[in-house]
Structure 1
Amino acid sequence: MGKNVNLTETVNIYKGEKKSDFESGCFSQTRENELICRILNTVAAKTPLGEHLMVVNSYEDTFYHAGVRLADIFEIPPDIVGLIAKDSDYNNFNFAKSVFIDTETTGLAGGSGTYAFLIGAGYFEGKKFKLIQYFMRDYNEEPAVLHSLKELLKEFESVVSFNGKAYDIPILSTRFLINRMGNPVEKPFHLDLLTSARRLYKERMASVSLASLECNLFSLERKGDIPSYEIPSIYFRFLRDKNPYPLKPIFYHNRMDILSLVALTVKIAGALKNPLCSDSCSEQDFYCLGRIYEDMEIFEESIKCYLKALEMPGVSEKAHFRLSLLYKRLGRWNEAQELWLKMAENNVHAEFALVELAKVYEHRTKDYTKAEQVTRRALELAYKKKGLLGYSQEQEIYELKKRLARILSKQGKPQKQLNFFNTVK
C-alpha cells in the first residue's frame, strides 16, 4: 500500500549535501544534529536524563481524518464505550483522560532486546488533538525518551491502542522496567481496538489489520507510507549512517496510525450506537453486532441484529443458529419453534433444529407423535451425513436412538420399531 524507500538512493538534502556525506561522516556532530532536526521537523527536548528529539503536531477541533472529525469522539455515549470494550467497567471510560499510543520498534517479535525508537502519543486538549512523537537518535537516548513519556502519562488514566495489549504496551513496560522507571504505561483502562475491530468486522474482512480497516471502512490509501516490516532495517541503517531522510515515512506511518486510532474509535462507536441505521455497517456486520449485544446481555438489540443478518449471505446460517438459541435462552418458545421449523425446512442446521423441536414436542407440548417424527428425520440426516462426509457420527446417532427409544416408550410402542436403524450402541 505504501511505497518502498530506496536506501541506496542519493538524496539531495540541501544544496550540495548528499546521502554520501552522511555515510562518510564529514559533518560535525552539531551540524549532523541540525540536519536531522531540519529534515525530520523535530525539536530537541532536554530532560534530567539527557536529550532526545520530538515532533509536536496539533489538530483543531474541525480537523477530519479519513472522513471522520476527531472531536466527534466526545459524542460517544459511555455505555457504547463499554460495548466497544465488551466490558461494562468501561462505561466510566473518559476520552479526555486517554492517551492514544503507537510505537515503532527495532523488531517485530518483541522481547527484552526490542527498543521502541519512536513512540507516538496522541491526546485531546479540550477538543483539539495533540500528537507528540518521541524519537531517540541512538540507544543512549532511551532514558530521556522514557522520562518524557512518563511525565506525559501522569496526566492520563486510560490507554487506547491497536494490538497494544499484545505488543506496544508489553514492550514499553519492559523498557521502563529495565531502566528502573516503574511501569507508568499500565493504566486502569486499556482500550485495544484490534480486539474490538476483530469482533465487529471478522465476518466481513479476511484481515483486520489497521491498513485493511482503513481501506475497507474509510477508503483510505496512504501516500508515502512504508510497510511495517521494513521499519526496523531502516532505523538500523540510520544508526550507522545518520541519514534521516529514509526515516520521514516512518514518522508519517506512526502519525497516521494514531490518527486512524481516533477515527476507528468513532467508526466502531457509530456502528454500535445505531446499528440498523449506521453507514458503518455492512451485511455481515449485523451478525457480529448481534453477538456483541448478546454477550453484553442487551438482548433486544441482539435480536434486531440477528433478524437483519438472517437474509445476509455468508452469515445467514450462523444467525439462524444463534437467534434460535437466544430465543430459547429467553424462554420465547413460540419464536424459537417457528425458527427451528424454518431451519429444518430450508436445511439450515437442520439436524440441530430437528433435535430442538424434538425436545419441545417431548418435554413441553407432550406431542410424542411429532417428537417421534422429527427425531426420525434427524436420524436419517445423521446417517446421510455419516455416509456422505465419511466421518464418524456414532455418538450423535447413539444419542438420537436413545431419544427415539424414550419417545417410543412414552407412546407405549414396542422397541422393535427401532429395527429400521442399526442396533443401538
Structure 2
Amino acid sequence: MSLKNKLTRMKKHIIREEDGEPAARPADHSADLPFWDLWKENGTTAYFLDDDFCLVREKRYPIHHQHGDYTFKDFIKAVDAWQGFTGEHPLSSKGLSHEDMFFFDTETTGLGGGVGNTIFLLGHGRVTDKEVIVTQHFLPQPGSEIPLYHSFLSNVDYNTLVTYNGKAFDWPQVKTRHTLIKDHVPKLPGFGHFDLYHGSRRLFKHKLDSVKLINVERNILGFNRIDDVPGYLAPMIYFDYIERRDPEGIFKVMTHNELDILSLITLYTHLTFQLLNVHDKATGHERFEVGRWLEYTGNGKIAKERYEEIIKENGEPNFKAVHQLALQYKKEKREQKAIELWEGIHENAPVPIRKVVLLELAKLYEHKTKDLQRALEMCSRLLALKESIGETNGKHHTIIGNLNHRKARIEKKIDKHIGFVTRRSEEENL
C-alpha cells in the first residue's frame, strides 16, 4: 500500500485544526505510516487536505540561543536600531517589528529554474520576544503540492521576506509552482524582500573567494557546521527517500535548511550592526565598504561620517576612505578640502588610487584654483606614473594621449598668462 493511501486511511485518527483547535496530529496507532516514529521524534505532524497530505516539522530555540557571534536577541536589537535611521536603505526595517520578518529558504529537486524544478521543502523562521520558531513544510511525494502550499500559505502572516539570493531563485520558484495550483491554494502575499546575498557581496567579496552562505558563516559570522549535508546533494537524497521512504537522509537535509534559516537571522543582525555602526568589530576595510554602500544608496551624509571615522587606521591613512571622502567634498563644492585630502595621499597611495588622485588634482588646480603650475606638475607626475607601469593596451594609449593634450593645454595657458603679465609689466614701466 502506498504511503498516500495509508495516510488517507488514517485520516479518521487525525485531529484537524479548526476553530482554534490544536494542529492536526496522528493518533498513537499511526505506526502504519512508514517510519512514522522517526518522523514524530523529529517534531513532525501530518497536514491533511481532502485526500492528500504533506508533513510539517517545527523546531524552537530560546531567544538567548547563540548562533555564531550573536544571540537571536541581538536580532531584535538590530531591528530596533533601524527605527532611528534617518536615510533610505534596501535592508532598512524601519517601521517594522522583529515579528514582521520572515526568514525563508527552500530545497529543490534541481538547481535550475522552470516548471521542471520542484520545491520539496519550504522552510521559514520567525522571531518572537521569547523564541525563534523554524517551520518546515515537506513534500512527501510528487503530486502533493496542493497540501504543501496550502499548509505554507495558511500560516504566513508577515510583511517582509528575508532570503539569501531568494530574489533570483527561491521566490521565483515558489511563484512558478504556485501558478500551477493557484486555484486550490491561498494567494501569494505581496512581500517586501530583503536579499542578504547582495549585502554579503558588497561587504565581504574583498576577503572571501566565494560568498556562499556557508563561507559567510565560517569566516564572518563565527558559525561552523558539523556533519552538514551539502545543498547540492539534497535532490539525490530526496529521490532516494521517494524510492525507499526512509527519512534518515531527509532529516539531514532539513537540518541543513534549518541552519540556513538561522544563519539568515544572524547575518541580518551582522549586516545591520555594520551599517548602523552598532558595534566596533568591523575592520577598516569592511567599514569602508559600508560607507560605499551607504553612499551608493543615497546616504551621502552618513557615508561621509563613516569615512571621517576611518581615514586613519592604526595611525596610517586608509587611502580608499580618504579618496572617497575627498570625492564627497568635491561634490559639495568644497574643493579646497578635497585638495587637502588628496595632497596628503597622492605620493604614497597604491598606484590605482594614485592615478585617480593625480588626475583629480590636475583638474581642480587647472579649473578651480587656477594654480596652473601645480596643475602642470600633477599632470606630469601622472604621465610619468602611467609610463612607468608599462601598459601597452589601447586604453592606455588613449589615456596617455588625453594626458598629453591636457598638459599641452595647461602649458599654453601658462605661456598666455606669462605673456599677459609681461605685457602688463612693460606697460606699467612706460
Q: Provide the TM-score with structure 1 as the length reference.
A: 0.80
Structure 1 residues 356-367: aligned runs within 5 Å: 356-367=360-371
Structure 1 residues 5-24: aligned runs within 5 Å: none
Q: CA deviation at 1:133?
A: 0.8
Distance 1:362 1:116 in 2: 62
Distance 2:98 2:87 in 1: 13
Distance 2:291 2:334 in 1: 17
After superposition, the Cα gap between the structure-2 partners of 1:319 and 1:48, relative to the gap in structure 1 and judged at 3 Å, is farther
After superposition, the Cα gap between the structure-2 partners of 1:83 and 1:240, relative to the gap in structure 1 and judged at 3 Å, is farther
The amino acid of 1:102's aligned partner reads D
After superposition, the Cα gap between the structure-2 partners of 1:237 and 1:148, relative to the gap in structure 1 and judged at 3 Å, is same
1:83·1:272 contact (CA, 8 Å) conserved in 2?
Answer: no
- Give the corresponding residue for 1:288: 289
Q: Of the candidates 103, 106, 115, which is equivalent to residue 103 of structure 1?
A: 106
Matched, 1:409 2:409: no
Q: Which runs of 4+ in 1 moved over 4 A?
A: 81-85, 181-186, 309-312
Distance 2:31 2:243 in 1: 14
After superposition, the Cα gap between the structure-2 partners of 1:49 and 1:158, relative to the gap in structure 1 and judged at 3 Å, is farther
- Give the corresponding residue for 2:386: 382
- Give the corresponding residue for 2:74: 72
The amino acid of 2:360's aligned partner reads E
Q: CA deviation at 1:406?
A: 2.3
Distance 1:112 1:141 in 2: 15
After superposition, the Cα gap between the structure-2 partners of 1:131 and 1:191, relative to the gap in structure 1 and judged at 3 Å, is same
Matched, 1:372 2:373: no
Matched, 1:325 2:346: no
Q: CA deviation at 1:400?
A: 1.8
- Give the corresponding residue for 2:205: 202
1:159·1:187 contact (CA, 8 Å) conserved in 2?
Answer: no
Q: CA deviation at 1:398?
A: 2.3
After superposition, the Cα gap between the structure-2 partners of 1:107 and 1:156, relative to the gap in structure 1 and judged at 3 Å, is same
After superposition, the Cα gap between the structure-2 partners of 1:64 and 1:403, relative to the gap in structure 1 and judged at 3 Å, is same
Distance 1:322 1:115 in 2: 46
Distance 2:199 2:87 in 1: 6
Q: CA deviation at 1:411?
A: 2.3
1:286·1:309 contact (CA, 8 Å) conserved in 2?
Answer: no
1:86·1:292 contact (CA, 8 Å) conserved in 2?
Answer: no
Size of the alignment, in residue pairs? 382
Distance 1:158 1:250 in 2: 25
Q: CA deviation at 1:223?
A: 2.0
The amino acid of 1:60's aligned partner reads P
After superposition, the Cα gap between the structure-2 partners of 1:309 and 1:235, relative to the gap in structure 1 and judged at 3 Å, is farther
Distance 2:376 2:387 in 1: 17
Structure 1 residues 167-182: aligned runs within 5 Å: 167-181=169-183
Distance 1:316 1:212 in 2: 27
**Is the partner of 1:390 in helix, strand or coil?**
coil
Structure 1 residues 1-400: aligned runs within 5 Å: 30-32=32-34, 34-35=36-37, 37-38=39-40, 40-48=42-50, 50-77=52-79, 80=82, 86-87=89-90, 90-153=93-156, 155-181=157-183, 184-185=187-188, 187-274=190-277, 277-279=279-281, 281-307=282-308, 308=310, 311=313, 316-348=318-350, 349-385=353-389, 388-392=390-394, 393-400=396-403
The farther-off stretch of 203-212 and 100-109 is: 203-212
After superposition, the Cα gap between the structure-2 partners of 1:131 and 1:107, relative to the gap in structure 1 and judged at 3 Å, is same
The amino acid of 1:121's aligned partner reads H
The amino acid of 2:333's aligned partner reads G
Distance 1:113 1:39 in 2: 33
- Give the corresponding residue for 2:25: none
- Give the corresponding residue for 2:420: none
Q: CA deviation at 1:190?
A: 0.5
The amino acid of 1:44's aligned partner reads A
Q: CA deviation at 1:335?
A: 2.7
**Is the partner of 1:92 in helix, strand or coil?**
coil
1:362·1:407 contact (CA, 8 Å) conserved in 2?
Answer: yes
1:65·1:260 contact (CA, 8 Å) conserved in 2?
Answer: yes
Q: CA deviation at 1:403?
A: 1.9
**Is the partner of 1:91 in helix, strand or coil?**
coil
After superposition, the Cα gap between the structure-2 partners of 1:72 and 1:381, relative to the gap in structure 1 and judged at 3 Å, is closer
The farther-off stretch of 48-57 and 208-217 is: 48-57
